[in-house]
Amino acid sequence: MNILDKLNEQQKVGVTTTEGPVLLLAGAGSGKTRVLTNRIAYLLEKGVNPWNILAIAFTNKAAGEMRERVDDMIGFGSESIWIATFHSTCVRILRRHIDKLGYDTNFTIYDTDDQKSTIKAICKRDNIDTKQIKERTILGVISSCKNEMISAEEYEKTAMGNWMNQRIAHVYKEYQKTLKKNNALDFDDLLLKTVDLFRYCPDVLESYQNRFLYIMVDEYQDTNTVQFEMIRLLAQKNRNLCVVGDDDQSIYKFRGANIRNILDFEFHYPEATVIKLEQNYRSTTNILNAANGVISHNKGRKSKALWSERGEGKKLHFRQFENPIEEAQYIADDIRKKVRQKEVRYKDCAVLYRTNAQSRSLEEQFVRDNIAYRLVGGTNFYGRKEIKDILAYLKTIESGRDDLSVRRIINVPKRGIGATSLDKAERFATENDISLFDALVRADEIPSLGKTAEKMKAFASMIRVLRTKSAEGYYDDLPELVDDVIKETGYLEDLENSDDEDAEDRIQNIDELITKAAAFEEKYASENPEAERGPSLQDFLTEVSLVADIDSVDSDNDRVLLMTIHSAKGLEFSQVYLTGMEDGLFPGYMAITADDKEELEEERRLAYVGITRAKDELTLTCAKMRMLRGETQYNPVSTFIREIPEEYIEGNFPKKKTFDLEEPVSQYSINQMKAAPFTGFGKTTTAKPKASLAKPAVKPYSGASGLAGLTKGSQMSAASVDYSVGDRVRHIKFGDGVVENIESGEGTTLVSVIFDKAGKRVLNAAFARLQKL
Q: Mean pLDDT over residues 266-271, rounded? A: 96
Name the catalytic one among 33, 112, 538, 658: 33
Determine the Cα–Cα distance for residues 464 and 61; give it in Å rounded to an integer. Answer: 36
Q: Which of 20-24, 172-176, 746-750 has the lowest mean pLDDT?
A: 746-750
Concatenate the DSSP letters of all residues of 347-391 into one string.
Answer: GGEEEEESSGGGHHHHHHHHHHTT--EEETTS--GGGSHHHHHHH
Reported as a single tens digit per residue, the pLDDT across 701-747 is: 333 333 233 333 334 444 568 888 888 998 876 788 888 888 876 55
Name the catalytic one among 59, 108, 194, 249: 249
Contacts of 399 (CB under 8 A, 6+ apart): 104, 106, 107, 108, 183
Concatenate the DSSP letters of all residues of 251-268 into one string.
Answer: --GGGT--THHHHTHHHH
Instruction: Return left, alpha or beta for 473; rule: phi > 0 is left, psi -120 to 50 is alpha, else beta.
Output: left
Reported as a single tens digit per residue, the pLDDT across 239-259 is: 999 999 999 999 999 888 999
Whether 187 and 547 have beta carbons less than 8 Å apart is answered as: no
Domain CATH code at residue 131: 1.10.10.160
| Of the residues 277, 311, 330, the one at which a domain ends | 277
Reported as a single tens digit per residue, the pLDDT across 125-161 is: 999 888 888 888 899 999 999 999 999 999 999 888 8
Q: Mean pLDDT over residues 100-123, rounded? A: 92
Q: Mean pLDDT over residues 294-310, rounded? A: 94
pLDDT band at 13 (very low <50, low <70, confident <90, very high): very high
Determine the Cα–Cα distance for residues 260 and 225; give it in Å rounded to an integer. Answer: 10
Q: Mean pLDDT over residues 375-400, rounded? A: 86
pLDDT at 745: 63
> Which is more confidently placed, 184 or 516?
184
pLDDT at 64: 87
Determine the Cα–Cα distance for residues 320 and 301; give it in Å rounded to an integer. Answer: 31
- Domains of the chain: total: 5
Determine the Cα–Cα distance for residues 607 and 644; give it in Å rounded to an integer. Answer: 11
Question: Among 727, 726, 701, 711, which Cα is nearest to 764's?
Answer: 711
- Whether 698 is in a domain gets the answer no
Active site residue 715: no
Contacts of 568 (CB under 8 A, 6+ apart): 350, 352, 609, 610, 613
Q: Does residue 761 surpass a pLDDT of 80?
A: no
Q: Does residue 293 surpass a pLDDT of 50?
A: yes
Mean pLDDT of the chain: 85
For residues 461 and 413, membership in a common domain is answered with yes
Percentage of the chain surpassing pLDDT 90?
59
Name the catalytic one among 174, 188, 218, 278: 218
Reported as a single tens digit per residue, the pLDDT across 595-643 is: 888 999 999 999 999 999 999 999 999 999 887 656 677 889 999 999 9
Q: Mean pLDDT over residues 217-246, rounded? A: 96
pLDDT at 1: 59
Determine the Cα–Cα distance for residues 128 and 124; give it in Å rounded to an integer. Answer: 6
Contacts of 536 (CB under 8 A, 6+ apart): none
Which of 1-15, 197-211, 530-544 reaches the highest mean pLDDT?
197-211
Q: Does residue 675 surpass a pLDDT of 60?
A: no
pLDDT at 424: 93
Q: How far is CA 507 from the centre of its chain?
A: 30
Active site residue 613: yes
Strand pairing class (728-731; 771-772): antiparallel
pLDDT at 706: 31
Q: Does residue 525 surpass a pLDDT of 60?
A: yes
For residues 245 and 213, membership in a common domain is answered with yes
- Whether 1 is in a domain gets the answer no
For residues 580 and 652, membership in a common domain is answered with yes
pLDDT band at 544 (very low <50, low <70, confident <90, very high): confident
Q: Does residue 523 surpass a pLDDT of 90?
A: no
- Whether 380 is in a domain gets the answer no
For residues 270 and 132, membership in a common domain is answered with no
For residues 48 and 84, membership in a common domain is answered with yes
For residues 325 and 391, membership in a common domain is answered with no
Active site residue 219: yes
pLDDT at 670: 29
Reported as a single tens digit per residue, the pLDDT across 467-484 is: 999 988 888 889 999 999
Domain CATH code at residue 54: 3.40.50.300
Active site residue 249: yes
Whether 7 and 35 have beta carbons less than 8 Å apart is answered as: yes
Cα–Cα distances (Å) from 722 to 115, 730, 732, 756, in that order, read: 43, 13, 17, 20
Determine the Cα–Cα distance for residues 186 and 115; give it in Å rounded to an integer. Answer: 7
Active site residue 221: no
Q: Mean pLDDT over residues 99-104, rounded? A: 94
pLDDT at 665: 36
| Of the residues 229, 252, 277, the one at which a domain ends | 277
Name the catalytic one among 114, 135, 219, 403: 219
Percentage of the chain surpassing pLDDT 70?
88
- Whether 732 is in a domain gets the answer yes
Name the catalytic one among 310, 401, 424, 613: 613
- Identify the helix (H) or strand (E) that includes residue 732: none
pLDDT band at 502 (very low <50, low <70, confident <90, very high): confident
Question: Among 753, 603, 737, 693, which Cα is nearest to 278's?
Answer: 693
- Whether 16 is in a domain gets the answer yes
pLDDT at 227: 97
Domain CATH code at residue 515: 1.10.486.10
Q: Mean pLDDT over residues 56-83, rounded? A: 86
pLDDT at 516: 85
- Whether 694 is in a domain gets the answer no
For residues 397 and 531, membership in a common domain is answered with yes
Q: Does residue 697 surpass a pLDDT of 90?
A: no
- Whether 571 is in a domain gets the answer yes
| Of the residues 151, 182, 213, the one at which a domain ends | 182
Name the catalytic one among 11, 32, 111, 389: 32
> Which is more confidently placed, 502 or 759?
502
Task: For residue 751, give its domain range.
Answer: 728-772
DSSP 239: -
Q: Mean pLDDT over residues 16-23, rounded? A: 96
Determine the Cα–Cα distance for residues 32 and 11; give it in Å rounded to an integer. Answer: 8
Question: Among 480, 458, 485, which Cα is nearest to 389's?
Answer: 485
Contacts of 69 (CB under 8 A, 6+ apart): 33, 34, 37
Is the peptide bond prior to 413 cis by the omega test (within 30 degrees of 0)?
yes
For residues 69 and 137, membership in a common domain is answered with no
- Whether 610 is in a domain gets the answer yes
pLDDT at 81: 92
Give me the phi and psi of 625, to 5 degrees please: -125, 135
For residues 398 and 456, membership in a common domain is answered with yes
For residues 419 and 442, membership in a common domain is answered with yes
- In terms of pTM, does the model score above 0.85? no
For residues 231 and 85, membership in a common domain is answered with yes
For residues 398 and 527, membership in a common domain is answered with yes
Instruction: Return left, alpha or beta for 218; rule: phi > 0 is left, psi -120 to 50 is alpha, else beta.
Output: beta
Determine the Cα–Cα distance for residues 184 and 110; give it in Å rounded to an integer. Answer: 7
Which of 582-596, 621-635, 677-691 reaches the highest mean pLDDT?
582-596
